[in-house]
Chain A
Amino acid sequence: MSKPLENHWTAVVNGEQKHLEIAQTTRLVDVLRTHLQLTGTKVSCEVGRCGACMVLIDGEPVNSCLVMAYQCEGSDITTIEGLHGEEKGTLHPIQQAFVEEGGFQCGYCTPGMVISTKALLDAHPEPSQDQIETGLCGNLCRCTGYGGIIRAVRKAGERCALTETSTEETVS
């Protein structure tokens, strides 16, 4: 049997160019978890309902269990491992807010929540309650009852807004 061609997969993952030899029908979640050992992206429902596998593809939040390798060929992918504060190794303000407000318990939904929050705050730096609900209704959490998560998102929003203002100020 001849070897199927076109199994090279390239993408930028967390800022690094990656080249892999994989079947193009491999799900992105498996590319990340199995081939790249980025296990911060979780699997839970595998049908696009829970958001545990959420990543950013070119800045958009996407359930990585629903995406095939070929569909994100050449994309810029950010997983939870790619999120950090100003310097690598520091917490992003969103992550910091989740820690401070008790926005997690078992933590299994947390990477996906944080990623969705990132997308939400990128789009709406000061989100309304309704925007928070819309932004995060694709992420299920069974532990927290969402209370801590909402408080964390609000706080992160305030912080991100602050950071942004201060950056702008420095620039100007």
Chain B
Amino acid sequence: MLLNRKQSGKRWHLRPDGAPKVTGQLQYLTDMTLPDMIHGRVLRSEYPYARLLSIDTSEAEALEGVYAVLTSKDVPGLNRFGIATPDQPVFCEDIVRYVGDAIAAVAADSPERAALALDAIRVVYEELTPLNSTDAALAPGAPELHEHGPGNVLHRTEIKRGDAEQAFATCDHIVTETYYTPRQMHAYMETEGGLFVPDEEGRLNVYAATQHGYKDRMQLARIIGCPEEDIRVVSSPIGGSFGGKDELNVQPYGALLALRCGRPVKMHNSRKESVRAGLKRHPMKIEMQTGMSREGIIHAHRVRITADTGAYATLGAPVLNFCTEHCLGPYAIPNVDVEGVSVYTNNGVSGEFRGFGGNQAIFGMEGQMDRLAEIMNMDPWEFRRRNMREKNDPGPLNQRILVTDGLSQVWEALDRSELWQKHQSPPADPALPPWIKRGVGAAIAMHGAGLGYGIPDPAGGRLSLNNEGKIEVAFSYEEFGQGLVATLEIMLCDLFQCSTSDLSIIIGDTDRVPHSGSSTASRSTTMAWMALQRLQTPFRSRALAVASEMSDIPADELVTGPGGIWRKGQLPADTSEVETDVQKTGKSEKAERTEVAEIVAGGTESAQIAESYSGVSQYQAKLEAPSDFVVSYAELAMQGEADEWIFDTKFDYPTTPDNVVGGHYLYTYAAVAAEVEVNTLTGETKLLDTRHVVAAGPVINPMGYIGQIEGGSVMALGFTLTEDAVMQDSRYVTTNLDTYLIPTIRDIHTNLEVEAIEDLPEGDSFGPRGIGEIGSVALAPAITAAIHQATGVRVNRLPVQREQLVRPLNVPLQEGVSPS
């Protein structure tokens, strides 16, 4: 189905957080203030690599208005953090390993005074020569950045199948190429920060963005040396994350300063500090050698991945696992020899980023496919089909995966598309000047969801009827913009035929939600759906049984509906669908205005509370409350004990039964076509048109779905054409959004079509798959294929170097790979 507003009809659901966001009423955690708060700042390293000889804080401490100056001596618990491998110091003790390393933190009565205090801290360093590349870090004799070596290797991966060596010897054609991908920055618009508030009971309230409040709480408790229950983490709403806020960032400093001073401490990173200290996408070098027979069947694939993980581990190892799994693409290759290594350097820290290593791998693998097809003189799409895995084939790691038709469906849908058809007869526009060249390219991908085999990936949730008579769900997921709350609303309205005003959705607050895992790896939608499937039956049966007792109507004649329990067949007609503005605009102007007034009023109130998304549903304009129900939810909630109305579930994200660490079980599939225009005088590439075909199961929230694919696609456009956090001698050269160039509204492809394939095998118990990442993984190779058709240049390095595409007018464009 071509996904757009018109096709979506009544499912075009207005987000409950819309009004507070468009009016500026919504308080982000970095907007929060308290009257007696003070301001925290962090002193970061002057050098990418140095020994710390001494730190003198006395002058800073003596300054008026300075409340605390903390260094490593002041960390009561573990002076380390990191989701997977806690190897990043809260404060460095003796060595600094990158320019974002923290040495001290101060709290003062104004941000300016805090900055002065930082200047007054005297640090003596012994500068060391930074390991500014993976080559330098792997060179024999290179100093070891961490004790847990060997050498500077964080992690190695390997897939060996068949006998690649021998297979290459029999191949008729071999393509050898090395691909380079950039250090992409998340560039979330809200930089890191928040408010840290100790309360009278000695608990610490942390209002700061994260993708997993419980993980932050655990890590903070470990740093502070206190029980986890002594900390409450409130973590939504978030002004964007894309993986970048999954690790702790300002939290350790805010927390320690607040506890030391006994006062609320506000932190808010400047963009420059955010760039310097924050995570980036792993820059990778991917060497590939792929061999095929005369008939164009791939027999052998050799891959060497080198990832620059920077100074600390964070999720460097799982990212490399994911990249390794995805560098075979969705292809059946009998002889495989893959080795990956993730290397510590003194560069910025690389970690989790939308696509999780898939983007780099898919760029490489799809590039190989185009190069091989060219040798065969074959349509590149047809070449892919020949080599594609069969529906029942095992996954890339030879693991069992859930069988779906997704791959062939996206292949076929793209094949049929008008845009891809243009590829056959390269678009030539005689009106264009001769230096403007056009081309079309395409790429395909399978992308794993969830954390993979062998990594704890708990899920669960809570469904209850709260004492206000609202159907309440609570999850430990976060809203960082993706539209999770809207999706939950739609799921609940679908399940219970209720209206949005019957709902209370609670997320992002460790005091109020059960542990149901993180919002990462495109997992939240599936997990929430699976949890609700498990919870709906006990909830519904109790509700109907109690209503039956109250009304003397047999339970099997009752159903849940808007406002309460209804007699079957008497549900008001329109409530079977989620309310949409299509319905709303049907009402009179006057009525619409009243609703809007309610929306804004709700927004203001909640902005003051700003503690979580609970009650966010109140923004949603209310349905004209139908009242022909048998029993209202409010009346129901008064029956029996409150905890009899609470239902919990716990389970794990579905994984493959086969013992392959990191191997996925659920995959989503995507095919992307792109049309570009290259100006061979300036080297500028402009993306004109794209089509994304995505197979991820039923579309729950069309507005959210389109938004995620469009957003992912434009992020991938930046990855392909402009984005690179350039480092020189391990220092960032691009330190802000004026030199680090993310796409603007001028740079995007205004023709972006999204086609959703909703089929799932009959009886599939996993429901809709997340689509947070799939829109971002396959655009780069589609664009570079299009550039090749336009100019004859094979691009192997991202972002595309303009110089590579510039040609003097009188020289014909050359085939072949640029040497850069």
Contact = CB atoms under 8 A, between A and B. Distances in A.
A111 to B, nearest CB: 4
A116 to B, nearest CB: 10
Contact of A89 (B188, B600, B750): B600
A91 B750 contact: no
A147 B541 CA distance: 43
Contact of B240 (A40, A106, A133, A138): A106
A89 B745 contact: no
Interface string B10-21: 000011011111
Contacts of B28: 39, 42, 108
B341 to A, nearest CB: 31
A105 B238 CA distance: 10
Interface stretch (A1-9, A45-53, A68-76): A45-53
Nearest to A152: B22
Interface residues of A, number: 64
Contact of A129 (B5, B599, B750): B750
A134 B745 CA distance: 9
Given A41-B24, A52-B189, A147-B706, A133 B746 contact: yes
Contact of B748 (A81, A90, A142, A146): A146
Contact of A137 (B20, B23, B712, B746): B746
B710 A106 contact: no
Given A42-B190, A108-B239, A81 B23 contact: yes
B189 A106 contact: yes
Interface residues of B, number: 63
A109 B707 CA distance: 15
Nearest to B713: A145
Given A99-B15, A142-B715, A146-B748, A45 B23 contact: no
Interface string B107-123: 00000000000000000
B240 A110 contact: no
Contact of B706 (A39, A102, A133): A102
Interface string A17-58: 000000000000000010001111111111111101000000
B17 A145 contact: no
Contact of B22 (A49, A50, A98, A151): A98
B292 to A, nearest CB: 36
Contacts of A101: 5
A10 interface: no
Contact of B271 (A41, A46, A129, A145): A46
A7 to B, nearest CB: 15
A99 B22 contact: yes
Nearest to B599: A91
A111 B817 CA distance: 45
Given A107-B237, A142-B240, A95 B707 contact: no
Nearest to B580: A100
Interface string B691-724: 0000000000001101100111111000000000
Interface in B90-109: none
Contacts of B17: 107
B736 A45 contact: yes
A80 to B, nearest CB: 4
A132 B744 CA distance: 12
A148 interface: yes
Contacts of B418: none
B23 A140 contact: no
A145 B779 CA distance: 13
Interface stretch (B195-203, B477-485, B641-649): B477-485
Contacts of B270: 46
Contacts of B480: 106
A141 B268 CA distance: 20
Nearest to B481: A106
Contacts of A41: 24
A87 interface: yes
A144 B581 CA distance: 20
Contacts of A142: 186-189, 240, 242, 711, 715, 742
B53 interface: no
B597 interface: yes
Nearest to B751: A147
B271 A45 contact: yes
A100 B27 CA distance: 21
Interface in A77-107: 79-81, 83-87, 89-91, 95-96, 98-107
Interface in B552-606: 581, 593, 596-597, 599-601
B495 interface: no
B786 interface: no
A124 to B, nearest CB: 15
B9 to A, nearest CB: 14
A13 interface: no
A150 B750 contact: yes
Majority SS of interface residues in chain A? loop
Contact of A98 (B18, B237, B482, B714): B18
Interface string B254-293: 0000000000000010110000000000000000000000
Residue among B33, B270, B597, B711 with max Cβ neighbours from chain A (10 Å) = B711
Contacts of B706: 102, 147-148
B617 interface: no
Given A50-B737, A148-B710, A102 B24 contact: no
A108 B189 contact: yes
Contact of B597 (A46, A81, A90, A138): A90
B97 to A, nearest CB: 27
Given A37-B33, A95-B22, A149-B745, A47 B187 contact: no
B26 interface: yes
B549 interface: no
B408 interface: no
B483 A105 contact: yes
A39 B24 contact: yes
Contact of A99 (B19, B33, B483, B704): B19
Nearest to A129: B750
A109 B745 CA distance: 13
A62 interface: no
B748 A107 contact: no
A132 B240 contact: no
A145 B481 contact: no
B736 A49 contact: yes
Contacts of B703: 102, 148
A160 interface: no
A145 B750 contact: no
A33 B22 CA distance: 17
Nearest to A101: B5
A107 B750 contact: no
Given A81-B24, A99-B18, A105-B707, A146 B581 contact: no
B711 A105 contact: yes
B738 interface: yes
B359 interface: no
A87 B594 CA distance: 10
Contact of A114 (B22, B239, B271, B712): B22
A132 B745 CA distance: 9
Contacts of A138: 744
A64 interface: no
Contacts of B18: 98-99, 104
A121 interface: no
A119 interface: no
A140 B237 contact: no
Given A95-B23, A150-B750, A140 B744 contact: yes
Given A42-B189, A44-B271, A107 B736 contact: no
Nearest 5 pairs of A and B residues by beta carbon? A40-B24, A106-B481, A107-B21, A108-B239, A145-B714
22 contacts: A45-B738, A46-B271, A84-B600, A90-B593, A98-B22, A99-B14, A100-B581, A102-B706, A106-B189, A106-B237, A106-B238, A106-B240, A107-B237, A110-B22, A132-B745, A136-B744, A137-B745, A139-B744, A142-B189, A145-B707, A145-B748, A150-B745
Interface of A: 33, 37-50, 52, 79-81, 83-87, 89-91, 95-96, 98-111, 114, 129, 132-134, 136-151
